[in-house]
């Protein structure tokens, strides 16, 4: 293979990979200089000129002519007067010899290795370009097509034929994709695995939800509304705290849109994830109240040392505060940055009640356990039943039931 064929074939391959001309020339020169170093020990006194468009290669070895008896005669950049005269009869000591080196002088094996090295360098460059491209896209939404569904991940292909990975852990539990489907996700991270870039996508990241809001809400994209924090249980529920520095803009209303038009587009993309948009405030009590919506909070007690909040609600609001699957209170805790403990706000009747464990000295513990099994854990919850009802529910002896009523009744008679 001569230089012209080698360079032209490499240039064609490089162009097919969208490699620019200066980079192509640099790679060619690096590979040829590596060949020179292998054969001649150094490339410092060599001039390499490449014209990739024409397939031209010129390599010149430059050496200074020294006297045959000179101490420098063994230097790699020197040539003896006698050897120089063999190249050109009229050379004189002190002149420079420019000796042209042909590609064939390196040997067939070296040329084949150079060809393989050139192709590998382009492939490595292609990997670097891919890595750098997606490294800059981390946190941004991309669209890709599903081409293979595996047990632990989905493989997707971008518009340029690059492989992207959507792991099972980064998929919404309700996601169901088929080959050929177009998937939206954010670039979560880019890893290097055995020299190959591994592009990991995510649909569960809070950043994905943030980018969807930017796409659907112009005020968020323009910076008129700021998303302070997002917490998610992907596919189930999310809470988004927003703030506007323009008093004329209602941040919650802008994010939701007319009749929910804006937020519905986001909800559909997230497999009907229930999204609560909350107006951020530095007033902690108000922020917690909004975070626990739709539950109505009666009062809040804060412990800054333990970073815990005690929230008191009316009995009918407790289940709303906790939410289905406990998602509401979990997300509210993460949103405000405090552990939230929910307590029922007792009415006057309940405030006077006494836990059954207070009577363990007078009532056998196995009897208290029997009562608790039926949901009776306070004195007044027992006294609210008739003796017949209590006997039927617990299968305790009548004499035992009478004794229970006597002991519990004395507590309130006092």
pLDDT, position 409: 83
271 CB-contact burial (10 Å; exposed 0-12 / middle 13-18 / buried 19+) = middle
Over range 366-383, report the average pLDDT.
Answer: 79
What pLDDT is recorded for position 414?
55
Say how far apart CA 310 and CA 315 lie, in whole Å. Answer: 15
| Among 149, 172, 202, residue at a domain's last position | 202
Identify the pLDDT of residue 3: 73
Q: What is the CATH number of the domain that holds 285?
A: 3.30.300.20
Average pLDDT of every residue of the chain: 87
Whether residue 350 is predicted with pLDDT greater than 70 in this model: the reply is no
- pLDDT band (50, 70, 90) for residue 352: low
Q: Give the bridge partners for 167, in sequence order.
A: 153
pLDDT band at 383 (very low <50, low <70, confident <90, very high): confident
Q: Which of 13-22, 50-59, 66-75 has the highest mean pLDDT?
A: 66-75
Residue 349 has pLDDT above 50, yes or no: no
pLDDT for residue 153 is more than 90: yes
Give the pLDDT band (50/70/90) at residue 6.
confident
363 pLDDT higher than 50: yes
pLDDT of residue 227: 96
Q: Report percent pLDDT > 90 for the chain.
A: 37
More confident residue, 62 or 372: 62
- Do 117 and 11 share a structural domain? yes
- 180 and 219 share a domain? no
Residue at which a domain ends, from 187, 202, 217: 202
Please provide residue 139's backbone torsions phi and psi, each rounded to the nearest 5 degrees: 90, 0
DSSP summary character for residue 296: P
CA distances from 50 to 42, 47, 169, 247, 324 (A): 19, 10, 51, 65, 70
Residue 134 confidence (pLDDT) above 50: yes
pLDDT tens digit sequence for 71-125:
888 888 888 888 888 888 888 888 888 888 888 888 888 888 888 888 888 888 8
Q: 277, 226 in Cβ contact below 8 A?
A: no
Same domain membership, residue 166 and residue 51: no
Same domain, 376 and 393: yes
Q: What is the mean pLDDT of residues 197-210?
A: 96
**Three-class secondary structure of residue 187 per DSSP:** strand
Query: Is 122 in the same domain as 13?
Result: yes
- Looking at the structure, tell me whether residues 260 and 271 fall in a common domain: yes
Q: How many domains does the chain have?
A: 5
397/2: higher pLDDT: 397
Q: Please check whether residues 17 and 126 belong to one and the same domain.
A: yes
| 185 pLDDT above the threshold of 90 | yes
pLDDT score of 338? 92
Task: Summarize the confidence of residues 279-307 as an average pLDDT.
Answer: 91
- Same domain flag for 260 and 289: no
Domain end: 202, 224, 247, which one? 202
The 3-state DSSP class for residue 258 equals helix
Asked if pLDDT for residue 45 goes beyond 80, the answer is yes
Tens digit of each residue's pLDDT (9 = 90 or more) over 316-332: 787 888 888 889 999 99
pLDDT surpasses 70 at 351 = no
CA angle 357, 389, 317 (to 5 degrees): 60
CATH number of the domain within which 141 lies? 2.40.50.140
In a 3-state reduction of DSSP, which class is residue 64?
strand
229 and 274 fall within a common domain: yes
Range of the domain at 355: 350-413
Give, as one character, the DSSP assignment of residue 161. S
Helix, coil or strand: residue 126: helix
* Mean of pLDDT values over 153-174: 93
pLDDT in tens, 208-260: 999 999 999 999 999 999 999 999 999 999 999 999 988 889 999 999 988 88
Read off the pLDDT of each residue in 350-378 and give the average, rounded to a whole number.
77
pLDDT-wise least confident of 161-175, 309-323, 339-353, 369-383? 339-353
Residues 354 and 398 reside in one and the same domain: yes
Asked if pLDDT for residue 286 goes beyond 80, the answer is: yes
Let me know whether 124 and 7 are in one domain: yes
pLDDT band of 347, cuts 50, 70, 90? low
CA separation for the pair 199, 189 (Å, rounded): 6
- Same domain (yes/no): 275, 289: no
What is the CATH classification number for the domain harbouring 126? 3.30.1480
């Amino acid at each position: 293979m001569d230089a012209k064929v080698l360079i032209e074939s490499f240039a064609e391959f490089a162009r097919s990979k969208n490699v620019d001309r200066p980079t192509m020339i640099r790679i060619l020169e690096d590979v040829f200089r590596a060949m020179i170093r292998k054969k001649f020990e150094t490339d410092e006194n060599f001039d390499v000129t490449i014209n990739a468009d024409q397939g031209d290669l010129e390599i010149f070895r430059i050496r200074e002519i020294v006297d045959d008896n000179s101490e420098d005669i063994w230097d790699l950049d020197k040539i003896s007067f006698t050897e120089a005269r063999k190249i050109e009869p009229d050379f004189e000591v002190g002149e420079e010899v420019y000796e042209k080196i042909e590609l064939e002088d390196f040997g067939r094996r070296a040329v084949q290795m150079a060809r393989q090295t050139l192709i590998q360098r382009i492939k490595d460059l292609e990997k670097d370009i891919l890595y750098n491209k997606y490294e800059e896209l981390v946190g941004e939404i991309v669209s890709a097509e599903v081409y293979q569904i595996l047990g632990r991940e989905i493989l997707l292909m971008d518009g340029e034929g690059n492989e992207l990975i959507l792991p099972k852990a980064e998929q919404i539990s309700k996601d169901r994709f088929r080959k050929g489907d177009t998937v939206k996700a954010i670039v979560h991270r880019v890893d290097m695995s055995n020299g190959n870039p591994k592009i990991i996508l995510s649909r569960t990241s809070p950043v994905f939800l943030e980018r969807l809001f930017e796409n659907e809400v112009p005020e968020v994209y323009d910076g008129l509304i700021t998303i302070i924090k997002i917490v998610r249980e992907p596919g189930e529920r999310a809470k988004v705290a927003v703030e506007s520095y323009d008093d004329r803009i209602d941040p919650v209303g802008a994010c939701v849109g007319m009749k929910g038009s804006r937020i519905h587009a986001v909800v559909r993309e997230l497999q009907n994830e229930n999204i609560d948009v909350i107006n951020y405030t530095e007033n902690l009590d108000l922020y917690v109240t909004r975070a626990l919506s739709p539950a109505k909070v009666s009062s809040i007690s804060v412990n800054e040392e333990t970073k815990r909040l005690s929230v008191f609600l009316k009995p009918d609001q407790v289940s709303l505060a906790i939410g289905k699957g406990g998602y509401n209170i979990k997300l509210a805790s993460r949103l405000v940055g405090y552990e939230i403990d929910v307590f029922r706000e007792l009415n006057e009747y309940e405030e006077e009640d006494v836990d059954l464990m207070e009577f363990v000295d007078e009532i056998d513990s196995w009897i208290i356990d029997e009562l608790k099994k039926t949901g009776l854990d306070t004195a007044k919850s027992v006294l609210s039943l008739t003796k017949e009802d209590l006997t039927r529910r617990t299968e305790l002896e009548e004499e035992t039931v009478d004794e229970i009523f006597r002991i519990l009744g004395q507590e309130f008679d006092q």
